[in-house]
Amino acid sequence: MRLTLLGTGSALPSPTRLQTGAIVERGGDTLLVDCGSGVTHRLAQSDIDYRDVDTVLLTHTHLDHVADLPTLAKARLLDGHDAFTVVGPQGTSDVCDALFAVDELADRLNLTVRELPTGTDPFAIGEIAIERAPTDHSKPGYAYRFDERVTIAGDTAPTEPVCSLADGSEVLVHECAYPDGTESPGHSTPTALGKLLADIDIDRILLTHLFPETEPHADELVSTVSKYTDATVSVATDHTSVMLE
Protein backbone atom coordinates (compact mmCIF):
# COMPACT_ATOMS: atom_id res chain seq x y z
CA MET A 1 0.00 0.00 0.00
CA ARG A 2 1.14 3.52 -0.75
CA LEU A 3 -0.23 6.81 0.59
CA THR A 4 0.42 10.05 -1.33
CA LEU A 5 -0.73 13.44 -0.08
CA LEU A 6 -1.48 15.68 -3.04
CA GLY A 7 -2.85 18.66 -1.12
CA THR A 8 -2.27 19.56 2.53
CA GLY A 9 -3.70 23.06 2.73
CA SER A 10 -7.01 24.65 3.60
CA ALA A 11 -9.74 26.76 2.06
CA LEU A 12 -7.39 29.77 2.09
CA PRO A 13 -4.79 30.04 -0.69
CA SER A 14 -1.20 29.11 0.06
CA PRO A 15 1.81 29.38 -2.28
CA THR A 16 2.98 25.91 -1.23
CA ARG A 17 -0.11 23.93 -0.21
CA LEU A 18 -3.05 23.11 -2.42
CA GLN A 19 -6.43 22.05 -1.08
CA THR A 20 -7.08 18.60 0.30
CA GLY A 21 -6.48 15.37 -1.58
CA ALA A 22 -4.77 12.04 -0.87
CA ILE A 23 -4.23 8.90 -2.91
CA VAL A 24 -4.43 5.43 -1.39
CA GLU A 25 -3.01 2.74 -3.69
CA ARG A 26 -3.27 -0.99 -3.05
CA GLY A 27 -2.66 -3.58 -5.72
CA GLY A 28 -4.66 -2.46 -8.73
CA ASP A 29 -6.84 0.00 -6.79
CA THR A 30 -6.16 3.74 -6.89
CA LEU A 31 -8.51 5.66 -4.60
CA LEU A 32 -8.57 9.44 -4.24
CA VAL A 33 -9.70 10.71 -0.84
CA ASP A 34 -11.09 14.25 -1.24
CA CYS A 35 -10.58 16.39 -4.32
CA GLY A 36 -9.96 20.02 -3.45
CA SER A 37 -8.90 22.75 -5.84
CA GLY A 38 -5.65 21.95 -7.66
CA VAL A 39 -5.61 18.22 -6.94
CA THR A 40 -5.92 17.29 -10.63
CA HIS A 41 -2.82 19.31 -11.45
CA ARG A 42 -0.96 17.80 -8.49
CA LEU A 43 -1.73 14.40 -10.00
CA ALA A 44 -0.06 15.58 -13.21
CA GLN A 45 3.03 16.46 -11.14
CA SER A 46 3.12 13.00 -9.57
CA ASP A 47 3.80 9.52 -10.90
CA ILE A 48 0.10 8.69 -10.55
CA ASP A 49 -1.82 8.71 -13.82
CA TYR A 50 -5.00 10.76 -13.41
CA ARG A 51 -6.68 8.44 -15.89
CA ASP A 52 -6.38 5.67 -13.30
CA VAL A 53 -8.35 7.69 -10.73
CA ASP A 54 -11.98 6.82 -11.38
CA THR A 55 -13.24 6.84 -7.77
CA VAL A 56 -13.21 9.61 -5.16
CA LEU A 57 -14.13 9.11 -1.50
CA LEU A 58 -15.17 12.28 0.32
CA THR A 59 -14.60 12.91 4.02
CA HIS A 60 -17.18 15.71 3.82
CA THR A 61 -18.58 18.13 1.26
CA HIS A 62 -16.96 21.50 1.97
CA LEU A 63 -15.74 23.19 -1.21
CA ASP A 64 -12.03 22.79 -0.44
CA HIS A 65 -12.58 19.03 -0.45
CA VAL A 66 -14.74 18.75 -3.58
CA ALA A 67 -13.90 21.67 -5.90
CA ASP A 68 -11.78 19.67 -8.37
CA LEU A 69 -14.28 16.84 -8.86
CA PRO A 70 -15.56 18.20 -12.21
CA THR A 71 -12.03 19.16 -13.28
CA LEU A 72 -10.75 15.63 -12.76
CA ALA A 73 -13.83 14.00 -14.27
CA LYS A 74 -13.72 16.21 -17.37
CA ALA A 75 -10.00 15.60 -17.89
CA ARG A 76 -10.63 11.86 -17.83
CA LEU A 77 -13.66 12.27 -20.12
CA LEU A 78 -11.65 14.21 -22.70
CA ASP A 79 -9.10 11.41 -22.62
CA GLY A 80 -11.72 8.75 -23.33
CA HIS A 81 -12.59 7.65 -19.78
CA ASP A 82 -16.23 8.41 -18.98
CA ALA A 83 -16.75 6.27 -15.85
CA PHE A 84 -16.51 8.23 -12.61
CA THR A 85 -17.66 7.38 -9.08
CA VAL A 86 -18.05 9.61 -6.04
CA VAL A 87 -18.66 8.11 -2.59
CA GLY A 88 -19.31 10.20 0.49
CA PRO A 89 -21.45 11.14 3.48
CA GLN A 90 -24.82 12.84 3.66
CA GLY A 91 -24.96 15.72 1.18
CA THR A 92 -22.76 14.12 -1.46
CA SER A 93 -25.57 13.73 -3.98
CA ASP A 94 -26.64 17.37 -3.76
CA VAL A 95 -23.07 18.59 -4.14
CA CYS A 96 -22.50 16.36 -7.15
CA ASP A 97 -25.74 17.58 -8.75
CA ALA A 98 -24.38 21.12 -8.59
CA LEU A 99 -20.78 20.44 -9.58
CA PHE A 100 -21.48 18.10 -12.48
CA ALA A 101 -24.07 20.45 -13.96
CA VAL A 102 -21.10 22.48 -15.22
CA ASP A 103 -20.43 21.70 -18.90
CA GLU A 104 -23.34 19.22 -18.75
CA LEU A 105 -20.94 16.69 -17.25
CA ALA A 106 -23.73 14.76 -15.54
CA ASP A 107 -25.14 13.96 -18.98
CA ARG A 108 -21.80 13.19 -20.59
CA LEU A 109 -20.29 11.01 -17.88
CA ASN A 110 -21.10 7.51 -16.75
CA LEU A 111 -21.44 8.97 -13.26
CA THR A 112 -22.15 6.96 -10.10
CA VAL A 113 -22.80 8.80 -6.83
CA ARG A 114 -22.97 6.70 -3.67
CA GLU A 115 -24.09 8.28 -0.41
CA LEU A 116 -23.03 6.26 2.59
CA PRO A 117 -25.79 5.32 5.03
CA THR A 118 -25.70 6.92 8.45
CA GLY A 119 -23.82 4.96 11.06
CA THR A 120 -20.38 3.41 11.07
CA ASP A 121 -20.84 0.18 9.13
CA PRO A 122 -17.67 -0.77 7.23
CA PHE A 123 -17.69 -0.94 3.46
CA ALA A 124 -15.31 -1.57 0.58
CA ILE A 125 -14.18 0.19 -2.57
CA GLY A 126 -12.65 -2.31 -4.93
CA GLU A 127 -10.45 -4.56 -2.83
CA ILE A 128 -9.83 -1.92 -0.16
CA ALA A 129 -11.64 -2.56 3.14
CA ILE A 130 -12.75 0.69 4.80
CA GLU A 131 -13.85 1.40 8.36
CA ARG A 132 -15.25 4.78 9.41
CA ALA A 133 -15.98 7.03 12.36
CA PRO A 134 -17.96 10.29 12.47
CA THR A 135 -16.02 13.53 12.60
CA ASP A 136 -16.77 16.70 14.59
CA HIS A 137 -17.02 19.41 11.97
CA SER A 138 -19.56 21.86 10.58
CA LYS A 139 -20.61 19.37 7.88
CA PRO A 140 -21.46 15.70 8.34
CA GLY A 141 -18.40 13.61 7.62
CA TYR A 142 -16.25 10.60 8.35
CA ALA A 143 -12.71 9.62 9.10
CA TYR A 144 -11.70 6.47 7.22
CA ARG A 145 -9.34 3.59 7.97
CA PHE A 146 -8.04 1.64 4.99
CA ASP A 147 -7.17 -2.05 5.35
CA GLU A 148 -6.48 -1.38 9.06
CA ARG A 149 -3.24 0.35 8.06
CA VAL A 150 -3.88 3.98 7.12
CA THR A 151 -6.37 6.34 8.75
CA ILE A 152 -7.34 9.66 7.17
CA ALA A 153 -9.31 11.89 9.51
CA GLY A 154 -10.54 14.70 7.26
CA ASP A 155 -11.57 17.96 8.93
CA THR A 156 -12.45 17.50 12.58
CA ALA A 157 -11.95 18.62 16.11
CA PRO A 158 -10.08 15.90 18.03
CA THR A 159 -12.52 13.17 19.01
CA GLU A 160 -12.31 9.85 20.79
CA PRO A 161 -14.12 7.96 17.98
CA VAL A 162 -11.64 9.15 15.34
CA CYS A 163 -8.61 8.40 17.52
CA SER A 164 -10.01 4.97 18.41
CA LEU A 165 -10.51 4.28 14.71
CA ALA A 166 -6.83 5.05 14.17
CA ASP A 167 -5.64 2.79 17.02
CA GLY A 168 -3.27 0.21 15.55
CA SER A 169 -2.79 2.07 12.26
CA GLU A 170 0.64 2.41 10.75
CA VAL A 171 -0.14 5.96 9.58
CA LEU A 172 -2.65 8.55 10.78
CA VAL A 173 -3.27 11.64 8.66
CA HIS A 174 -4.91 14.16 10.98
CA GLU A 175 -5.56 17.83 10.55
CA CYS A 176 -3.91 20.36 12.85
CA ALA A 177 -5.31 23.51 11.36
CA TYR A 178 -4.28 25.99 14.04
CA PRO A 179 -1.66 26.42 16.78
CA ASP A 180 -2.59 26.34 20.44
CA GLY A 181 -4.43 29.40 21.69
CA THR A 182 -6.66 29.66 18.62
CA GLU A 183 -10.42 29.25 18.79
CA SER A 184 -11.01 26.46 16.31
CA PRO A 185 -14.47 24.88 16.41
CA GLY A 186 -14.53 21.90 14.09
CA HIS A 187 -10.75 21.89 13.74
CA SER A 188 -7.75 20.66 15.74
CA THR A 189 -4.99 22.31 17.73
CA PRO A 190 -1.89 20.35 18.81
CA THR A 191 -2.43 20.02 22.57
CA ALA A 192 -6.06 18.95 22.22
CA LEU A 193 -5.08 16.42 19.55
CA GLY A 194 -2.06 15.13 21.43
CA LYS A 195 -4.02 14.46 24.60
CA LEU A 196 -6.47 12.21 22.76
CA LEU A 197 -3.65 10.36 21.01
CA ALA A 198 -1.76 9.65 24.23
CA ASP A 199 -2.96 6.06 24.61
CA ILE A 200 -3.35 5.29 20.89
CA ASP A 201 -0.96 2.90 19.14
CA ILE A 202 0.18 4.52 15.88
CA ASP A 203 3.56 4.35 14.16
CA ARG A 204 3.45 7.64 12.29
CA ILE A 205 1.29 10.79 12.44
CA LEU A 206 1.13 13.23 9.55
CA LEU A 207 -0.33 16.62 10.44
CA THR A 208 -2.13 18.36 7.61
CA HIS A 209 -4.78 20.93 6.60
CA LEU A 210 -2.69 23.85 7.82
CA PHE A 211 -4.10 27.32 7.35
CA PRO A 212 -1.53 29.82 5.96
CA GLU A 213 -1.11 31.53 9.34
CA THR A 214 -0.33 28.15 10.91
CA GLU A 215 2.54 27.26 8.58
CA PRO A 216 5.18 29.27 10.53
CA HIS A 217 4.21 27.20 13.60
CA ALA A 218 4.90 23.81 12.00
CA ASP A 219 7.74 22.91 14.37
CA GLU A 220 5.58 23.87 17.34
CA LEU A 221 2.77 21.59 16.14
CA VAL A 222 5.17 18.66 15.89
CA SER A 223 6.86 19.22 19.26
CA THR A 224 3.55 19.64 21.07
CA VAL A 225 1.85 16.53 19.65
CA SER A 226 5.08 14.56 20.23
CA LYS A 227 4.86 15.22 23.97
CA TYR A 228 1.87 12.89 24.16
CA THR A 229 2.77 10.05 21.81
CA ASP A 230 5.62 7.74 20.90
CA ALA A 231 4.63 7.95 17.24
CA THR A 232 6.84 9.73 14.74
CA VAL A 233 5.13 13.08 14.16
CA SER A 234 5.68 15.39 11.21
CA VAL A 235 3.88 18.09 9.28
CA ALA A 236 3.04 16.76 5.86
CA THR A 237 3.63 18.76 2.69
CA ASP A 238 2.15 18.37 -0.75
CA HIS A 239 3.72 15.31 -2.43
CA THR A 240 4.51 13.58 0.88
CA SER A 241 4.44 9.85 0.11
CA VAL A 242 4.60 6.86 2.42
CA MET A 243 5.14 3.28 1.26
CA LEU A 244 3.77 0.61 3.58
CA GLU A 245 5.34 -2.81 3.06
Residue numbers annotated as active site: 64
207 vs 141: CA distance, rounded Å: 19
Contacts of 223 (CB under 8 A, 6+ apart): none
Q: Residue 232: beta bridge partners?
A: 204
Residue 152: which region, alpha, beta or left (left: phi > 0; alpha: psi -120 to 50)?
beta
Q: Strands (DSSP E) along 43-190, which ranges? A: 55-57, 83-88, 110-115, 123-125, 128-134, 142-146, 150-152, 171-175
